[in-house]
Structure 1
């Protein structure tokens, strides 16, 4: 009986030692856990842009903030937001700082790409991010009426509309006349783009050059179509600029832009 008691006591002691070792190991493991990202510790943003915020920002400053927001997106460090609170506050009015004309592509999440939330920007979408009367009218509302100071035409790599245009897809034969009309608006962007390879969408460099030219050309089309916005840009009240979103890296590259009189600015 005594021997059994000793064995039982020894077992308890050994169990205690194992538990202590496990605790020690857990403590060491805990110390090795990386510190939480700063933004995860921040309180979520509840406010939205006000009329004062919009008025205080210059077009150049807005572009700078959009570039910083894109850096956050690329680094997977998006700002935490209380969307419920922002939604309620947005009921009082909206004062977006920019309007982005983007392609309809579902892989281009415009607000996230610039680390923005409710009330920050207007977003217009059409396949191939082309200009048409409705899009320009929306931009005139955003700028001349609602006070936005930046207009961005943002193309993206691997654009299906541009690829279809390059490969001369015959949408009319498929009874898609509206799509055919849309692709016709992209066709001029192919003209003049030089390449050492094939003029096909499988030629990535050539396709990307057409995508960039299409965005730049659309900017000029907007200036030509809207005297109001062209005049606002002349006065320095707004900037109309093109950009391309790289779907692989998440980075947005802004292009140097020319106003409709041919003056160059950055």
Structure 2
């Protein structure tokens, strides 16, 4: 499998990008990793890059986007931060990926057993970690289905909060970035929340809770 060039990347829309990621995760969980010539990909991307998707994920050592989606050099942008939260720097990186380079899909990827989520559930306060916990706290309050043991020791509660936190990050991106909001409205970029299961390697996409629009004639003419 080769890295996309500029013209090939232009042929990929948000739906296709999502399917490429689905296919990659299928290969990953079935141990069917594509045999790539990574040095060839390095050479092909030495002057430019045309990633088809951008993944905002946690910094957890088990959730490397390139691995779990079985992608090669130059295929995706990977932005990582504890708890897959949104900040000024994250927004700037996402806007560069979509608005400048042309990545057509944003996936906000949370995961089960997330340490940052556990810490938020336990109201941890420690140095700069506290600012990350503050971003996750709304999800701990939004979760209302679990009544007992609402702590980081309850995997059911932790994973439910992680899912809500992913949705909150998607909403925040669209609320705070006029650039991405416009690209999504025009159908040029899609945005989807997803969860990675650290026990199985499987990624579940929640596209019904994201936005992938069809490109309209008006938006094509304006491009």
- When normalised by structure 2's length, the TM-score is 0.91
Q: Name which of 153, 157, 167 aligns with 1:216.
A: 167
Structure 1 residue 93 displacement after superposition: 0.9
Q: Name which of 231, 235, 247 aligns with 2:182.
A: 231
Structure 1 residue 92 displacement after superposition: 2.3
Is 1:197–1:203's contact at 8 Å kept on the other side of the alignment? Answer: no
Q: Name which of 60, 67, 70 aligns with 1:105.
A: 60
Aligned to 2:149: 198
Matched, 1:78 2:33: yes
Matched, 1:125 2:77: no
Q: Deviations over 1:114-167 (max 9, x none)?
A: 110000000001000000010010010000100100011100111101100101
Where does the alignment leave 5 or more consecutive residues of structure 1 unmatched?
1-44, 260-266
Structure 1 residue 257 displacement after superposition: 2.2
2:142 aligns to what SS in structure 1? Answer: coil
Matched, 1:169 2:124: yes
Separation in 2 of the partners of 1:192 and 1:218? 14
Is 2:34–2:70's contact at 8 Å kept on the other side of the alignment? Answer: yes
Aligned to 1:257: 209
Cα distance, 1:258–1:115 mapped onto 2, change above 3 Å = closer
State the Cα RMSD in Å: 1.0
Q: Name which of 131, 138, 146 aligns with 1:181.
A: 131
Separation in 1 of the partners of 2:209 and 2:199? 24
Aligned to 2:6: 51
Separation in 2 of the partners of 1:258 and 1:111? 22
Which has the bigger relative contact order, CA under 8 A and spacing at least 6? 2
Larger radius of gyration: 1
Matched, 1:155 2:110: yes
Separation in 1 of the partners of 2:114 and 2:178? 29
Where does the alignment leave 5 or more consecutive residues of structure 2 unmatched?
212-223
Q: Which runs of 4+ in 1 moved over 3 A?
A: none
Structure 1 residue 170 displacement after superposition: 2.4
- When normalised by structure 1's length, the TM-score is 0.77
Structure 1 residue 258 displacement after superposition: 4.3
